[in-house]
């Protein structure tokens, strides 16, 4: 036979809060282990010029949210070990010159390219027309230690015009629970 226990707070025996409820059915998870945090998302507010045909660290100057202060200097350092869904959407352009022939971007883990073969890439044959800009989104679940860090790097090769990382490009991550 089942029974019901009514509580507004659920704590462990050392008084650490696990769950609370406001009595109206709105439950707040308190313990970090039952939240998809740390979590952040940041974006680039103003289009930034980048060096042609060179892997360049992407900048994201504006935070949409950053639950635990784990994003700074265009770098995510989780502070808590776990598996993190990391995602980024970048758009690379060349001032409308329509000569973009090679574009890539990738996650870097601790300063080195992470699974570089999975990077969103477009590369055209030398005899091909180029394009104006390239945008795509990359998602990867990455196992991170507390002091590991993730950055986004981009690459853009264009024969004329100046390569840009276009405003609105974004970068985010959140911890997945129980994995």
Partner 1 sequence: MALSKVDGTNFIAPTIPVASGGTGAITLAAAGLANTPAFHARTSTDQNLTRSTAVLIVNFVEDFDVGSCFASNRFTVPSGEGGKYGVYFSLSCNTGAAGGDGELIKGDIYKNGAYLTGFRSILEDNGSSNMYISNYTATLTGVTTLSAADYLELYATTADQDASGTVQSNSHTIFGAYKLIGA
Closer residue to partner 1 in complex, CB, 59/88? 88
| Closest by Cα among 134, 135, 76, 81 to 108 | 76
Closer residue to partner 1 in complex, CB, 61/143? 143
**Tokens in use for 94?**
């060349």
Binding site for partner 1 (CB under 8 A): 1-5, 10, 12-14, 16-19, 31-34, 36, 83, 85, 87, 115-125, 127-129, 131, 136-141, 143, 176-179
The three-class DSSP label of residue 46 is coil
Closer residue to partner 1 in complex, CB, 1/24? 1
Bridge partners (DSSP) of residue 83 are: 143
The three-class DSSP label of residue 117 is helix
11-46 as b/e: b if 16+ CB within 10 A? eeeeeeeeebeeeeeeeebbeeeebebbbbbbbbee
- Nearest approach in angstroms of CB 166 to partner 1 is 17
Closer residue to partner 1 in complex, CB, 35/57? 35
Closer residue to partner 1 in complex, CB, 46/141? 141
Pairing of strands 75-76, 62-66: unpaired
- Nearest approach in angstroms of CB 95 to partner 1 is 20
- Nearest approach in angstroms of CB 73 to partner 1 is 26
CA atoms within 13 A on the CB side of 169: 27
- Nearest approach in angstroms of CB 178 to partner 1 is 2
- Nearest approach in angstroms of CB 37 to partner 1 is 12
């Amino acid at each position: 036979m089942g029974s019901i226990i009514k509580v507004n707070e659920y704590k462990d025996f050392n008084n650490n809060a696990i769950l609370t409820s406001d009595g109206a059915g709105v439950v707040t998870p308190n313990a970090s282990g039952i939240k998809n945090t740390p979590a952040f998302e940041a974006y680039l507010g103003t289009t930034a010029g980048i060096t042609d045909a060179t892997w360049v660290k992407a900048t994201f100057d504006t935070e949409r949210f950053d639950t635990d202060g784990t994003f700074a200097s265009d770098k995510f350092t989780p502070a808590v070990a776990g598996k993190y869904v990391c995602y980024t959407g970048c758009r690379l352009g060349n001032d409308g010159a329509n000569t973009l022939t090679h574009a890539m971007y990738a996650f870097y883990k601790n300063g080195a390219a992470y699974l570089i073969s999975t990077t969103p890439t477009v590369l055209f044959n030398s005899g091909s027309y180029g394009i104006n800009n390239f945008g795509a989104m990359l998602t990867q679940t990455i196992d991170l230690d507390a002091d590991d860090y993730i950055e986004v790097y981009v690459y853009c090769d264009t024969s004329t015009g100046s390569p840009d990382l276009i405003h609105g490009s974004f970068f985010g991550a959140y911890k997945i629970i129980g994995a």
